[in-house]
């Protein structure tokens, strides 16, 4: 219970609906209420996912009641019904934010907190407000890239990575791969860039309402050149990479990308942090509490569950929003829609989105190939390259090791969801990552 932060998704989505939407709350929530109330047949992957956290759910009676089948594991094809969640959604549909942050639902949250020695109060719920901020922006090779600003580190980190390679001559990667030397140099540079960006993340990123985040400095192209010029022929040890000096986040999270017939685009990343957050369901309300407090630097300099380091910028303060790696991104070409993209994946979200964008813009891959291509990732600390099977050719890997890179193969990560737009011909290409169980749907 102590790991839970004040839930923000309800307030944020209601704010967006009221300011930018064209439908009523009742219409928006009707289908979700029906699915929760009537249930749906559980697919293999959902049953497998819930069963993988079976022991966690069994710790809490309220969670066991919903996310296990009477204390037993679910089987694919069984109906999954969430009556309490349906009632909570009905209250939101009728009363708006007061249906969640006040009244019955708020009372249930506070009661759950008190039962588990949590500290969220009714006052915390009433005081929570969403904040609308300007997205961060860069122009990358003629494409306008817009992404999430602090307190997420994702947008700034993405822009840094793009700025650092903008002036690189990237070899043509049409089916016939370029030489081993060129490949190893490309991966070496990309890895070293990632190290420096994550080092900056650890030092400078936090909630801008509580910490002066040097956004313009970090996203400045001259700064990117300075950081790029630090890179030598060999791997730089993590302890020799310091955050830049200026003039004075598992297969977790959910992402979806949306575009309508008029070209209105939405890129949304939302999270409980860990797969099922804290694992605690608010009894009687039917939803899980997050464990977002882990995204703060509870002890500056020490890693969180994703191995990410944070310092004073992301220290815990009442009312503060925690740092994240969410990177929902929208890209325009000549002012027209071009790409909506984002991913779950904890600290690897940033590089999942980054490599997908580079695959599309620089290497001219189709959307599905760009997203499905095996990935690689480095986050400064721990000090090794993380890569999926097939991400790097064996000969190239040998060259990287010669340069001093430590390497570790990991299981597939991230689930990028993207829409590529041919605006001139009004053709939309959607793709849901092969690593996940999403879908590309049009109507």
Q: Looking at the annotation, which residues are catalytic?
A: 253
Radius of gyration of the CA atoms of the chain, in A: 22
CA distances from 298 to 14, 197, 200 (A): 30, 22, 18
Q: Please, are residues 418 and 372 in contact by the beta-carbon 8 Å criterion? A: no
Query: How far is residue 430's CA from residue 420's CA, in Å, rounded to a whole number?
Result: 6
Query: How far is residue 83's CA from residue 88's CA, in Å, rounded to a whole number?
Result: 9
Query: How far is residue 213's CA from residue 322's CA, in Å, rounded to a whole number?
Result: 13
Phi–psi pair at 401, nearest 5 degrees: -65, -35
Long-range contacts, 366-373 (Cβ 8 Å, 24+): 366/429, 367/418, 367/419, 367/420, 367/429, 367/430, 367/431, 368/431, 370/418, 371/416, 371/418, 371/431, 371/433, 371/434, 372/431, 372/433, 372/434, 372/435
Rounded to the nearest 5 degrees, what angle is found at the Cα of 417, between the Cα atoms of 136 and 153?
30
- Is the dihedral angle over the CA atoms 414, 387, 49, 43 positive or is it negative? positive
CA distances from 356 to 73, 121, 159, 199, 307 (A): 36, 41, 14, 22, 23
Q: Report the C-alpha dihedral over residues 283, 322, 267, 195, rounded to 10 degrees.
A: -130
Q: Count CB-CB contacts under 10 A for residue 79.
A: 10
Phi-psi region of 284 (alpha: psi -120 to 50; beta: other; left: phi over 0): left
C-alpha 30: how far from its chain's center? 27
Query: How far is residue 31's CA from residue 27's CA, in Å, rounded to a whole number?
Result: 8
Query: How far is residue 68's CA from residue 58's CA, in Å, rounded to a whole number?
Result: 8
Q: Please, are residues 294 and 304 in contact by the beta-carbon 8 Å criterion? A: yes
Query: How far is residue 172's CA from residue 96's CA, in Å, rounded to a whole number?
Result: 52
Strand partners, 26: none
């Amino acid at each position: 219970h102590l790991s839970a932060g004040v839930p923000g998704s309800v307030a944020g989505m209601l704010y967006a609906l009221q300011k930018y939407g064209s439908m009523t709350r009742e219409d928006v929530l009707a289908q979700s209420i029906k699915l929760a109330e009537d249930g749906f047949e559980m697919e293999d992957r959902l049953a497998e996912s819930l069963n993988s956290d079976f022991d966690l759910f069994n710790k809490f009676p309220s969670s066991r009641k919903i996310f296990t089948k009477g204390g037993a594991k679910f089987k694919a094809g069984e109906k999954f019904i969430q009556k309490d969640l349906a009632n909570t959604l009905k209250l939101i549909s009728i009363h708006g934010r007061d249906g969640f942050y006040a009244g019955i639902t708020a009372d249930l949250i506070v009661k759950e907190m008190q039962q588990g020695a949590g500290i969220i109060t009714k006052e915390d719920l009433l005081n929570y407000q969403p904040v609308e901020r300007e997205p961060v922006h860069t122009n990358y090779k003629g494409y306008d890239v817009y992404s999430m600003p602090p307190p997420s580190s994702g947008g700034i980190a993405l822009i840094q990575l793009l700025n650092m390679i903008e002036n690189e001559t990237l070899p043509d990667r049409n089916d016939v791969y370029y030489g081993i030397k060129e490949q190893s140099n490309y991966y070496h540079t990309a890895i070293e860039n990632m190290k420096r960006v994550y080092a900056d993340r650890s030092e400078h990123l936090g909630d801008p309402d509580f910490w002066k985040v040097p956004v313009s400095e970090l996203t400045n192209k001259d700064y990117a050149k300075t950081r790029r010029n630090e890179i030598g022929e060999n791997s730089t040890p993590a302890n020799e990479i310091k955050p830049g000096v200026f003039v004075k986040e598992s297969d977790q999270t959910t992402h979806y990308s949306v575009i309508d017939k008029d070209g209105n685009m939405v890129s949304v990343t939302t999270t409980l942090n860990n797969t099922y957050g804290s694992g605690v369901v608010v009894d009687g309300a039917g939803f899980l509490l997050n464990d977002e407090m882990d995204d703060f630097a509870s002890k500056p300099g020490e890693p969180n569950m994703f191995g990410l380091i944070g310092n004073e910028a992301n220290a815990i303060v009442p009312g503060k929003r925690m740092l994240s790696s969410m990177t929902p991104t929208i890209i325009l070409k000549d002012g027209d829609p071009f790409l909506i993209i984002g991913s779950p994946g904890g600290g690897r979200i940033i590089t999942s989105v980054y490599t997908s964008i580079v695959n599309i813009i620089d290497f001219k891959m189709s959307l599905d190939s760009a997203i499905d291509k095996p990935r690689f990732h480095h986050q400064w600390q721990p000090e090794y390259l993380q890569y999926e099977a097939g991400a790097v050719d064996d000969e190239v890997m040998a060259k990287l090791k010669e340069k001093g890179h430590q390497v570790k193969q990991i299981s597939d990560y991230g689930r990028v969801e993207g829409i590529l737009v041919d605006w001139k011909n009004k053709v939309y290409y959607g793709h849901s990552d092969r690593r996940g169980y999403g879908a590309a749907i049009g109507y």
